[in-house]
Amino acid sequence: MAIHSILCIEDDRFIGEMYIRSLQKAGYTVDWVVDGNDGLIAARNQPYDLILLDVMLPERRGTEILDALRGGSEDLIPNTKVIVLTNFEQDDESRMAMQKHADAYLIKAEITPKKLIEVIEQLASN
Amino acid sequence: MAIDGNQRAPIRNFMPQLRRDVAWRIILFQFIVSGLIAVTLILSSVLSVESILLWTIVGVSFVISLFFEFSLAFYVARPTKDLMAALTHVAGEPTTTTPPNPNDSRFIKNGFSDALQTIYELAGHESDGSSIKTTESSDKEIPVVPSTDSVKAALNNTTCGFVVLNHERKVIYHNKAAPIRVDTDNVESLELIFSGVDTIDSWLNECEQNSVHAEHIWTRIPNRMPDADDRRFFDVIASYDKGSDNETVLTLVDRTNLYDIGEQELDFIAFAAHELRGPITVIRGYLDVLQDELNAVLEPDQRELFHRLTVSANRLSGYINNILNTSKYDRRHLKVHLAEDNIADIYDVIRDDMQLRADSQGRILSVNFPADLPTIAADRASISEVLGNLIDNAIKYSNEGGAINVTASVKGNFVEVSVEDFGIGMPGNVVSNLFQKFYRSHRSRETVAGTGIGLYISKGIIESHGGTIGVRSEEGKGSTFTAALPIYSTVADKLISGDNNNEGLIEHGNGWIKNHSMYRG
């Protein structure tokens, strides 16, 4: 599955701009929203190829967004990949619950933009 | 029972006494019989007193008869012995023997198991009689015992939980403070989350097989998941009494005040890590971006400065992981999720970072993993953290231009990874303390920066995998750290049955311990 369009849900301005800059340079089309409510609306309104999802978000947590999109009986975004990107140490249960519905779960501090693009390319080739 | 005050001879003394009595009677009897045989043979002139044959016959018949009589006595006395062992046990006398098991195939075959079962059941009823939770019968006999209602009311006023389970493990009594869950069919069950293999069910299974009376204590058992409302922690004391109506009695001491502080501290560390990781993400990310974008215009020495920035930022993020994991490990929350993996792939996660780190510090890092190594059971993030720590140490404690060799080989059921340096090494007395928390050798405290938790958490992680970590070192010559991890095929069965958690994998003494079951987030 080729990946072209990306939705980035990230509330930290520095981190958000960093991802946008690198992803756009690498040729992706990126939309960026900073709060959880807008993130969920954007994800439901437009069929993105990939969503980069933060966990600690204002208005609505990443866990809730993922749950709303994929937690029900029907997968609302069947053609979209999801990468959870967080710096928060979740407890085991919450992390496992997110991993179940996501295509990757990464700690932001461990991932540079270059590595993120590698992960995206790998997801696209699977 | 043993609790009464009468000076009685212990029951356990009976069998040895009986054995002595029977033994000397058999021997005496045999002397008489052999004497009679000899006298008869001499008087009937079959053999003379001087005849060697006579004494041979008497001697041999003495020995053979003695043997058969002792065997017979042993066989006849055996049920008595088992009965006395059972009695000794239910009387609560100190004994080193295990109580005879009614489910033993020998007893089932000869029909003795019912007798044993009866003894155990009678013992169970008797202890009911002495308990204060009795109903009508004891009300008549012992009027001083408080009525059931007032006892129940009193128990409901305590902050300790009491739960009684019958032999089907159904809750037949609980007081107010006990953590009890009621399902939609109105069935009550214990609301406790035991971690690892040491659960109440596994303990009861073991009791049913091997015990008549047993006690067990669990500490720090939560009733709900983290973040749930009204989460409490209990120390649980269980008494098991085979055959009794109240087969298992649980006493639960609410220790939330004590243990919750630890949980809050963990929360604090998790939040602090989140705050620290934010800026590190930005620093690492923009360094990455800038290095790419400026590559064409940078002078070699400026490029080297960028490398140093990158290496430092990377190390910072490694330390945060060490701190987080140490905090979880100390609270028994570190949980590793083991999967089939191979060491070269795990190393690939940190390869670039390590290479850069070695280059910028002027060390020659060579990593050679044989291609035919078997796969191991590993949590990739944790093991890469351990490898990072070991290589980081090798860099710290060696000299400019020094070689660091990383390799792996098969040792029995393990793949052993070794990190060898030719640096300053350590004397023996340092080696023995090396894996302790915050330990730093006197000399390294003065000359080398560090926190002293890297090796501590590395040991914790490797042992959570069921492996071992070790070091060989010679002062002035260098050190070799080794980490042995189980080959996947040797533990695959255990992992599949345990949902890929490390529980059940850590062998300690005679049993499995699970106190490293940590929640890795």
Q: Could you say which of A19, A94, A108 has the minimum Cβ distance to residue B277? A: A108
- Angle between helix axes B380-396 and B300-330 (nearest 10 degrees) is 120
| pLDDT score for B269 | 78
Looking at every residue in chain B, the average pLDDT score rounds to 81
* For chain B, percent of residues with pLDDT exceeding 90: 18
Instruction: Write the ipTM.
Output: 0.89
Q: Which residues of A touch B284 (CB under 8 A)?
A: 109, 112
What's the start-to-end Cα distance of chain A, in Å? 7
Domain count, chain B: 3
Does A29 touch chain B if contact means CB atoms closer than 8 Å? no
Here the tokens at position B237 are: 């004391």
> Which of B229, B254, B279 corresponds to the end of one domain?
B254
User: Does B73 fall in a domain?
Assistant: yes
Q: Which residues of A touch B517 (CB under 8 A)?
A: none
Most A CBs within 10 A among B227, B277, B322, hence the mutation to make, goes to: B277
Does B317 touch chain A if contact means CB atoms closer than 8 Å? yes
Centre a 10 Å sphere on the Cβ of residue B23 and count the other Cβ atoms it contains.
13
Whether B250 and B273 share a structural domain: no
Whether B271 and B385 share a structural domain: yes
- Which residue has tokens 């630890």? B262
Say whether A33 sits in a helix, a strand or coil. strand
| pLDDT score for B144 | 56
- Nearest alpha-carbon partner for B151 in B172, B128, B175: B175
> Which of B254, B287, B321 corresponds to the end of one domain?
B254
Rounded-to-integer distance, Cα B101 and Cα B112, Å? 11
Does A74 touch chain B if contact means CB atoms closer than 8 Å? no
Rounded-to-integer distance, Cα B470 and Cα B481, Å? 6
Does B272 touch chain A if contact means CB atoms closer than 8 Å? no
pLDDT class of B460 with cuts at 50, 70, 90: confident
Which domain CATH number covers B294?
Answer: 3.30.565.10
Does B264 touch chain A if contact means CB atoms closer than 8 Å? no
- Cross-strand pairs, B164: B173, B249
Rounded-to-integer distance, Cα B278 and Cα A55, Å? 13
Rounded-to-integer distance, Cα A113 and Cα A15, Å? 10
Rounded-to-integer distance, Cα B206 and Cα B512, Å? 14
Instruction: Indicate yes or no: CB of B278 within 8 angstroms of CB of A112.
Output: no
Alpha-carbon gap: A108 to the closest alpha carbon of chain B (Å): 6
> What residue in A sits closest to B284 (Cα-Cα)?
A112
Question: What ranges make up the beta strands (E) of B175-226?
Answer: 180-182, 188-190, 213-222
> What residue in B sits closest to A14 (Cα-Cα)?
B282
Instruction: Indicate yes or no: CB of A18 within 8 angstroms of CB of B335.
Output: no
Q: A5-125 adopts what CATH topology?
A: Rossmann fold (3.40.50)
User: Does B204 fall in a domain?
Assistant: yes
Whether B460 and B397 share a structural domain: yes
Rounded-to-integer distance, Cα B217 and Cα B206, Å? 15
| pLDDT score for B397 | 87
Long-range contacts of B52-61 (CB under 8 A, 24+ apart): B58/B34, B61/B34, B61/B37
Name residue A51's amino acid. I
Instruction: Indicate yes or no: CB of B519 within 8 angstroms of CB of A107.
Output: no
Sheet bearing A29-33, strands edge to edge:
A29-33, A5-9, A50-53, A81-86, A104-107
Q: Which residues of A touch B224 (CB under 8 A)?
A: none
Averaged pLDDT for residues B458-471? 89
Instruction: Indicate yes or no: CB of A109 within 8 angstroms of CB of B281.
Output: yes
User: Does B361 fall in a domain?
Assistant: yes
Whether B335 and B405 share a structural domain: yes
Whether B408 and B285 share a structural domain: yes
Q: Give φ, ψ of B73 to 5 degrees.
A: -60, -40
Does residue B399 register a pLDDT over 50?
yes
Averaged pLDDT for residues B53-70? 87
> What residue in B sits closest to A56 (Cα-Cα)?
B274
Query: Checking DSSP bridges between strand A5-9 and strand A50-53, what pairing results, if any?
Result: parallel
Sheet bearing B233-241, strands edge to edge:
B171-174, B161-165, B248-254, B233-241, B213-222
Rounded-to-integer distance, Cα A118 and Cα B356, Å? 19
pLDDT in tens, chain A (126 residues): 789 999 999 999 999 999 999 999 999 999 999 999 999 999 999 999 999 999 988 888 899 999 999 888 888 888 899 999 998 888 777 888 888 889 999 989 888 999 899 999 988 887
pLDDT tens readout for residues B403-437: 999 999 999 999 999 999 998 888 877 777 788 77
Alpha-carbon gap: B283 to the closest alpha carbon of chain A (Å): 9
**CA-CA-CA-CA dihedral for B454, B459, B465, B466, to nearest 10:** 170
- Which residue has tokens 């109440």? B200
Name residue A103's amino acid. D
Q: Give φ, ψ of B421 to 5 degrees.
A: -125, 165
User: Does B117 fall in a domain?
Assistant: no
Does B324 touch chain A if contact means CB atoms closer than 8 Å? yes
Q: Could you say which of A91, A92, A108 has the minimum Cβ distance to residue B281? A: A108
Whether B64 and B184 share a structural domain: no
Q: Which residues of B touch A111 (CB under 8 A)?
A: 281
Rounded-to-integer distance, Cα B386 and Cα B457, Å? 8
Name residue B484's amino acid. A
Rounded-to-integer distance, Cα A63 and Cα B192, Å? 26
Whether B264 and B223 share a structural domain: no
User: Does B114 fall in a domain?
Assistant: no
CA distances from B461 to B159, B319, B387, B435 (A): 38, 15, 11, 12
Q: Which residues of B touch A91 (CB under 8 A)?
A: 226-227, 519, 521
Whether B155 and B240 share a structural domain: yes
Which domain CATH number covers B240?
Answer: 3.30.450
User: Does B124 fall in a domain?
Assistant: no
> Which of B75, B100, B125 corresponds to the end of one domain?
B100
Q: Which residues of A touch B281 (CB under 8 A)?
A: 12, 15, 87, 108-109, 111
Q: How many residues does the structure list for chain B?
A: 521
Q: Could you say which of A91, A94, A113 has the minimum Cβ distance to residue B285? A: A113
Instruction: Indicate yes or no: CB of A112 within 8 angstroms of CB of B280.
Output: no
Find the domain containing B472 and state its range.
Answer: 260-512
User: Does B231 fall in a domain?
Assistant: yes
Q: Could you say which of B269, B277, B289 has the minimum Cβ distance to residue A113? A: B289
Whether B243 and B351 share a structural domain: no
Element holding B113 (H helix, E strand): helix B113-130
Element holding B16 (H helix, E strand): helix B14-43
Is residue B3 packed enough to be buried (19+ CB in 10 Å), middle (13-18) or exposed (0-12)?
exposed
Does residue B63 register a pLDDT over 50?
yes
- Which residue has tokens 């710290």? B396
pLDDT tens readout for residues B254-284: 888 887 766 666 677 777 888 888 899 999 9
Whether B161 and B52 share a structural domain: no
